[in-house]
Each structure stands twice: as C-alpha cells, then as structure tokens.
Structure 1
Amino acid sequence: MKIIVPMAGRGSRLRPHTLTVPKPLIPIAGKPIVHRLVEDIAGVINQDIEEIAFIIHKDFGNQVPKDLIAIAEKLGAKGSIYYQDEPLGTGHAIMSAKESMSGPVVVAYADTLFRADFALDTTADSVIWVKQVDDPSAFGVVQLNDKNEIVDFVEKPAEFVSDLAIIGIYYFKSGETLRSELQYLLDNDITKGGEYQLTDALENMKQKGMKFVPGKVDEWMDCGNKNVTVDTNNRMLAFLHADGENMVAESVVNNNSTIIPPCCIAEGVVLTNATVGPNVSLGKGTKVENSTIKNSLVQTNSIIRNANLDNAMIGNNAIFDGKFTSISIGDYSVLE
C-alpha cells in the first residue's frame, strides 16, 4: 500500500503560523498534522505501508522534505518528495506524484484528521472516506444505492441529496487506473475554473462501471484556521487521554504548578507558578511562568509569562508577556 499526500498549499487561513511552517507540519497534540494523518490511515487500512509520497511546494525549503521523510520512516515506509509549483487543482497535484502511483494507493489531503473504526473494503475499486454532517450544503457529498455503493458525487448541493460529506481521503485498488484517468484530464485539458479536478476522474471511473463504496468516519477534525485548529487540538487530546496515552514527558520541570488533563507537554518544558489545562499542548523547551493556560496550543521554545490564555495559539520561539487572552501569535513574535 502507498499513501499520496498532496500538501503544496501554504495554508493562508492559518497565518501567521503558516508563514514559516507549512500547515501540515503544525503540531496537534504533540505531532504534526500530517504525521497523525498517516498514522490514522495506517490504522484503518491495516496493511503494510510501502511508501508515502508527499507533494510539496519548492518554497517550503530544505528542512521540510527531511522532516517528511522522517515521518514516513517512523512508519516503516519509504518517503518520497514531489513538487507542485502551480496551483492547478487536485488532479494536477496528485499527478505530480505519478511515479508512485502503482498498486493500491490512498490519497489523503493533509488538512484534516479523523477517528474511524471500519474495515477497508479492498474488493472495491475505490473507497471514499465520508462523515455524516448537519449541513451538507457546504460540502461535496456522495449518494448511495441500496447496496451501499456510491452512485453520485454532488458538490455543495442546494437541496438535500445526502448528508455524507467527502472528507478528502480516498482508497484506490489500482494506482495505475487512477493515474490513467488523471492523465486523460491533463491530455484533453478538462478543467473546472482552470483546474484539473480529482472528482472529474472519479466520475469517469464510475461511468466505466467501477465500484465505489463509502468508508464512514466517526470524527472529522479540520485544521483550516486558528480557532478550528485549537479545537482540533482539544478534541485530539481528549481522544488520546481516553485511550490511556501518557502525554506528559518525564523531563517536564514542575515548580509549584498544576497540570489539569488532558494535556500534551513535551520534553524540556518548565512550568513555574502555572496552571496548565485542560486541553493544552506545549512544545519542547517552552517555559510558562505565573500563567494560566487552557484550551490552547503552544509550539516549541516559547516563553509565556503573566498570562491568562484561553483559545490561544502561539508559534515557535515566541515571547508573550501580557493580559490578552484569545491570541494568535506566529513564530519569533515578541509581545512584552
């Protein structure tokens, strides 16, 4: 099994945090979004992962490919790096990794996390991960027949046709077939709004009689902007705590401080006269003094003093000393 992860977009809605770090590498409960994504996919497919192909932008720099390859290797897979330098749509992005499209593949967009407990139907030509939603008009949805097969894809339906939203994760029994269908779009310049879309390839495959089935997830968590990313961090902490995972490093220095679970507190964190939690992630080397923090995400090597934070997101190497509460501070910012 191979996993293809298109992630060349910078994530403008999550600025300032994505000005220095691509969104899929923002940590959620102590691990980058993309790391958690591929781990969760591995748990669902229950097969050995041969390769993880990451599609990035050349402007991401030299360190990002190294970090991504390390993530793949932690899962026992080969890491491959491809580049998409023009935003020409989902189909174009996936085709940037065409050399890795062979055998069974999973395509997963790296801006979403999920929790699921279903067995992957490897007899189907394709499995599309979906989540039941209250307002399907904001999503692309699938329609099912009485055999639980997908018979139609509808983008943001004005009238109700289905409440099963496509979350952006797909399994294909044949990577070669997917590559051929996407190549057809490129060769014939079949676009929507100037972009080559995966959904057009799916529709062509369905018209040829290929079997599509849904894979229903229990939880779907977005990382689109600051508020939903903080909320996703909160929810992931709760899930991991319920699973019995210890998320407080032994090297944490606790000076007259209280930790209210669930929290993810990394190595080298120093807490002094602080109350941390619930629902807080603190990255490596961060120092918190005379502060109360809840429902917040703080990355590495930052300093927080005299603060009362709630629904806050703070980047790497930042310094915050002040009375503000619901803040969003990027890397290397100083407020004191």
Structure 2
Amino acid sequence: MKALVLAGGSGTRLRPLTHSSAKQLVPVANKPVLFYGLEAIAEAGITEVGLIVNPRAREIREAVGDGSRFGVEVTYLVQEAPLGLAHAVLVARDYLGEDDFVMYLGDNFVVGGIRDLVTAFRAERPDASLLLTEVPDPTAFGVAELDAEGRVVTLEEKPARPRSDLALVGVYLFTPAVHEAVAALKPSARGELEITDALQWLVDRGRTVRSTRITGYWKDTGDAEAMLEVNRQVLESLRPRVEGSVDAASELRGPVVVEDGATVVRSRLEGPLIVGAGTAVRDSRLGPYTSIGPDCVLADTSLAYSIVLNGARIEGTGPLEGCLIGRHATVAPAAPAPHRLILGDHSEVRIRS
C-alpha cells in the first residue's frame, strides 16, 4: 500500500503568511503540519509516499527531503496547476500503479493517526473508504449523504444546499478501481476534477464505498483560526522540559518547554507553552497555549494563545492574544489595549501608543 500526500495548495486563506511559505509548513507546536501527516502514515506501516507539490515547491523539498527522517521513501510528483483532488490522482497514476493507496491532504490534522483505518481497509478492501465528521457549516466541504443503513448514497463538493452535515475529512483510501472513475470525470463548475465526483461514480456503479465517522479530533488547518485551535489541541499533551537557561527571577507554571539555547530572564511562563531553541525572553509574560519558534526575541511583552514563527521580534507590547506572527516579523511598540495580529513573514508593525 502507498500513500499520496497532497501538498500543492497555495494557502490563500492563510495569506499574507503563505506569500513566502508553503501552508503545509506552517508550524503547530513548533512542527510543520505536514510532518504530522507523514508521521501518521509511517505509523500506519506505509513506507512509500508520493508527495504532490506545485512547481515552486523548493521549500517543501528542502524540509521533507527523501523522507527518511519520517521512516518513509518520498517521491515528488508535480501538479502543474491546482485542478482538483482527483486531478492529483491522475497526476500520480504511473506512480501508484495497481497498488491500494491512502490519499492524505497535507494541511489536515487528525489526532490519533490513521493506523486503525488502514488496518481495516487492508482486511476488507472496499473499493473506497472515507472519513466523515459532523460540521456546523457543510457548505465549505465535500458532503456525504448516507441511507438508513449508513451506506454512502450521494456525495457533493461544497453544496449550496447540503443534504447532510457530514463532511469528508481529508483522508481517503482507494483500491485501483478509483483510476477508472477519475479517468471518466469532466471538470466541475469550479473547473476542477472533484474527488467527490469520483466517489459518486463508484457509488452509481454499485462499487463498495464505505465510510467511518471520525471519533477523534480533526481539523483542516487552512486558516488562522484553525491553526491556532490545532496548536492549542496539540499543546494539551505537552510534557515539561527545560534544556535552555531560566534565571532565578523567572517563574514557570504548568507544562513548559524551553529548548536548547533559549534564555528566559525575569519572566513568567505559563504552560502549555514552547519556547524554541535560541529564543530570548526577558521581562515578559507568556502563555498559555503558545508556541514560539526558534531564534525569536520577546521583551517586555505579554502574549498568549498564539503562534510565533522563527526569527520574529516582539518588544514593548501590551496584551497580545490569538496572534499568528510570521518569520522575522517585528512588532513594537504596543498600546496598552489588546491587539490581535496576523502577520506575514518579514513584516514590521509599529503601533501608535
């Protein structure tokens, strides 16, 4: 069995952060979202991974490499344009051959992994298997309608009038039967080859399409709010660890990680919280539910429920909450009232007091 991981999207909902960085590499708890998916695939016993990327994927190639750090072998497959999930399967046709495969969206986050799902699929081998979860706004997702016995009846991509509240989670499992379905597709009104149409093709021809309702946590990390929520979820299981320097005038409460080379001076850190390697913190109050990347500077500031990427500098700010601060961004000085900032890489913001 192989895996097909989709990492070619441009991340428009995370702009300006993704103007200079792939959305799949935005970190959660100081680790790129894409890495969690690759680890879940390896943990499920799959070692061959086809990684769908766009033509400008240098950053992803450098971060993932040959996949050996995750225990997998990565083959890069270039999708020239974002023409749909089913189009990605078409691009990967030669690589996938006649193997079963799991298709995993690289910006999705599934707590608990996919091992049980893969094990069940290998044992039963339906033509397709998909994950479903109830969502408050199905119009933003692919939606499945089930009959009274729980069988998949209809599937539709981002319907204006959804027939159910069951959204497709970004994990699908297929036998080679899906290739015939994909080859028969025409572009949708969105101009894309939709994976929901491929699944519907299989259903209409009496092929076996099974679904499982996800019981754990799942999130599409496509926007800032989702990124912050997933960051919070991951930090819930953080274990305290201090490898850097914390002076006697500082206080650490709850699960706090201070990575190697980081320094904390005259500050209060409330976990769950990660301070990345080489980061300097002084005269500040940080956390909870905050991830600070490596080589940052935080001085005379208050920050909580936020993600700060590597090299950022935040000085002299009042209370900041719910922020997503890009690489090498600068924030200084701050007014006493709370501010919420979402900054792209190398940004600089100066707030009038």
For the aligned pair, the TM-score class normalised by the smaller chain equals: 0.7 to 0.9
Tell me the number of residue pairs that the alignment of Structure 1 and Structure 2 aligns.
325
C-alpha change, 1:109 and 1:305, in structure 2 (3 Å) is same
Tell me which moved more, 247-256 or 304-313: 247-256
C-alpha change, 1:230 and 1:117, in structure 2 (3 Å) is closer
Match for residue 272 of structure 1 among 276, 282, 302: 282
- Structure 2 residue runs of 5 or longer lacking an equivalent are 241-253
Q: Does 1:87 align with 2:82?
A: yes
Letter in 2 for 1:326: R
Contact in 2 for aligned 1:116/1:216 (Cα 8 Å): no
Task: Give, in whole Å, the separation in 1 of the partners of 2:189 and 2:106.
Answer: 22
Report the equivalent of 2:292. 282
Q: CA deviation at 1:65?
A: 1.3
Q: CA deviation at 1:327?
A: 0.7
Task: Give, in whole Å, the separation in 1 of the partners of 2:68 and 2:257.
Answer: 22
- Structure 1 residue runs of 5 or longer lacking an equivalent are none
C-alpha change, 1:87 and 1:41, in structure 2 (3 Å) is same
* Structure 2 SS opposite 1:288: strand
Task: Give, in whole Å, the separation in 1 of the partners of 2:149 and 2:73.
Answer: 37
Match for residue 143 of structure 1 among 137, 142, 145: 145
* Structure 2 SS opposite 1:181: helix
Task: Give, in whole Å, the separation in 2 of the partners of 1:291 and 1:277.
Answer: 11
* Structure 2 SS opposite 1:59: coil
C-alpha change, 1:86 and 1:237, in structure 2 (3 Å) is same
> Any idea what the Cα deviations from partners look like across 1:202-227, whole Å, max 9, x if unmatched?
11222232222223222222322223
C-alpha change, 1:148 and 1:240, in structure 2 (3 Å) is farther
Contact in 2 for aligned 1:69/1:78 (Cα 8 Å): no
Contact in 2 for aligned 1:54/1:68 (Cα 8 Å): no
TM-score by length of structure 2 reads 0.83
Report the equivalent of 1:100. 95
Contact in 1 for aligned 2:276/2:293 (Cα 8 Å): yes
Counterparts in 2 of 1:243-254, with a 5 A limit?
A: 247-254=257-264
> Any idea what the Cα deviations from partners look like across 1:265-321, whole Å, max 9, x if unmatched?
221122111111001111111121111110111011222111232111111122221
Contact in 1 for aligned 2:109/2:218 (Cα 8 Å): yes
> Any idea what the Cα deviations from partners look like across 1:98-127, whole Å, max 9, x if unmatched?
232242211122232122477322113222
Task: Give, in whole Å, the separation in 2 of the partners of 1:140 and 1:266.
Answer: 37
Contact in 2 for aligned 1:131/1:219 (Cα 8 Å): no
Report the equivalent of 1:326. 340
Letter in 1 for 2:13: R
Q: Does 1:335 align with 2:335?
A: no
Contact in 2 for aligned 1:140/1:153 (Cα 8 Å): yes
C-alpha change, 1:240 and 1:100, in structure 2 (3 Å) is farther
Q: CA deviation at 1:35?
A: 1.0
Tell me which moved more, 252-261 or 231-240: 231-240
Q: CA deviation at 1:331?
A: 1.3
Counterparts in 2 of 1:56-67, with a 5 A limit?
A: 56-60=53-57, 62-67=58-63
Higher relative contact order (CA 8 A, sep 6+): 1
TM-score by length of structure 1 reads 0.87
Task: Give, in whole Å, the separation in 2 of the partners of 1:66 and 1:220.
Answer: 27
Match for residue 220 of structure 2 among 222, 242, 245: 222
> Any idea what the Cα deviations from partners look like across 1:45-104, whole Å, max 9, x if unmatched?
x3x2222222111123x332121335x322211111111122322211232222322422
Letter in 2 for 1:215: T
Report the equivalent of 2:173. 171
C-alpha change, 1:139 and 1:318, in structure 2 (3 Å) is closer
Report the equivalent of 1:69. 65
Letter in 2 for 1:249: E
Q: CA deviation at 1:15?
A: 1.0
- Please provide the CA RMSD for this pair: 2.6
C-alpha change, 1:263 and 1:160, in structure 2 (3 Å) is same
